[in-house]
Structure 1
């Protein structure tokens, strides 16, 4: 799958070194619990590479069937460039147009403002704030977790509004 600036493909064993390097950055993992790299292998996780340079940008998760979970993790050097939004929107569009997806959900820590902004730019709306009793909570866990979501009907309505606003009807 390609976007304007990214190539997305399922993560394979050949991506393990790139994943380990990404997960070794404490700033990237600041709001996340580490999981074994092998957990990211398979069709639900997509390696993202910059089309212009071929560099590994990070990964995107799009896991589930009717309701899918959107996730992303990018190298710091790619933060603030719109790549997370670009990849997320592309997966959402494909899911709603040809993947049988009815609802997309995403969660993060309340204090992870950057990730929340990406969710909003992808069209997801805040659904709830909730608290999880973690055995070894990360700093900021006391503020809770947030869930964002977007239904297919909401996405279709926004696409129609965008076309009308852009002069396309």
Structure 2
């Protein structure tokens, strides 16, 4: 199912057929090094299938989701965009209604504005659903994602380890 569209991408639920691409994205250290409190690469193709199942389960609670970013021109999955509740720092459950936007793209999709375009669409999707503000959290040395936050018009909110067990730069729009 298509969740939203922009000029160059369709943002949709993941398909089982996307598993090879998911594995190709998340098996790469240059992508995975920025993700999670203890970054690690995806170990095998079975892990990609399991990730797709988890992501599609998370996408059943509108307006939230972890979605595929498909390039209109080629039909290639460029990566992932997400709009999800931030975790409660004490127990990892859904927190105080705070929402995060994020993006993870394959290196062959870097440098073309697709992360900004997909994230902007996710933010608009959230605002249309009544979400009042949306956060992004980025590792301080992830120059590319810091630039995406600026292009999105997000304002810096300082460093925090509030939501994840890592010190991150927080942004808000």
TM-score band, normalised by the shorter chain?
0.7 to 0.9
Once the two structures are superposed, what CA deviation does each residue of 1:19-49 show, in whole Å capped at 9, x if it has no partner? 1111011111222224754243331111011
Other-structure match for 2:62: none
1:50 aligns with 2:71: yes
Task: State the secondary structure of the residue aligned to 1:86.
Answer: helix
TM-score, with structure 1 as normaliser: 0.74
TM-score, with structure 2 as normaliser: 0.73
1:78 aligns with 2:101: no
Q: Distance in 1 between matches of 2:14 and 2:146?
A: 24
Other-structure match for 2:171: 148
Task: Count matched residues.
Answer: 141
Q: Distance in 1 between matches of 2:7 and 2:123?
A: 15
Task: Describe how 1:8-87 pairs up with structure 2 within 5 A.
Answer: 8-32=11-35, 33-34=39-40, 37=48, 38=51, 39-42=54-57, 43=59, 44-64=65-85, 67-87=98-118
Q: Distance in 2 between matches of 1:123 and 1:79?
A: 19
Other-structure match for 2:91: none
Other-structure match for 2:89: none
1:116 aligns with 2:131: no
Contact 1:69 1:105 in 2 (8 A): yes
Instruction: Show structure 2 runs of 5+ residues with no match.
Output: 60-64, 86-93
Distance 1:131 1:92, change over 3 A: closer
Q: Residue 12 of structure 1: CA displacement?
A: 3.9
Distance 1:26 1:129, change over 3 A: same
Q: Residue 109 of structure 1: CA displacement?
A: 0.8
Instruction: Show structure 1 runs of 5+ residues with no match.
Output: 135-140, 151-169
Q: Residue 11 of structure 1: CA displacement?
A: 2.3
Distance 1:119 1:83, change over 3 A: same
Kindly report the root-mean-square deviation, in angstroms, between the aligned alpha carbons of the 2 structures. 2.3
Q: Distance in 2 between matches of 1:100 and 1:131?
A: 27
Q: Which moved more, 1:9-18 or 1:114-123?
A: 9-18
